[in-house]
Amino acid sequence: MDNIANAHHRIQLLTTIVDYSLGHKFIDIYRKGEVPISLILHGNGAANSEIYDILGFGEPKKAIILSILTETMAQWMLHDLRVKMKFNKPGTGIAFTISLSSCSSILSQ
């Protein structure tokens, strides 16, 4: 039970990288999930198109969405991405979390 309670206080950075043309769909999912979107970046890959094809990355122009949220909310959003955007299929993008534990202890005080 203590682990579940701590998950509500642990802070994570959710990073999502998708084709630029799909960025607005992900932003809509995050807004409906009441995720505070901290920063939306526009990126452009430097690899040639053959590398993108091999890795299944699609177009080189990317939307990079960075959000800070609780561990519980991050897990829900990763689940939503798998279900709503078929994120478990190659070529749809990537999403991952990074623990911001040093920040979460400061914020929870």
Contact partners, residue 42, CB within 8 Å, separation at least 6: 20, 61, 62, 63, 64
pLDDT in tens, 49-97: 676 666 666 677 889 999 999 999 999 999 999 999 888 887 788 899 9
Kindly report the pTM of this predicted structure: 0.75
The whole-number pLDDT of residue 33 equals: 87
* Number of domains, the chain: 1
CATH number at residue 37: 3.30.70.120
Domain that includes residue 55, residue range: 2-107
Bridge partners of residue 62, in order along the sequence: 19, 43
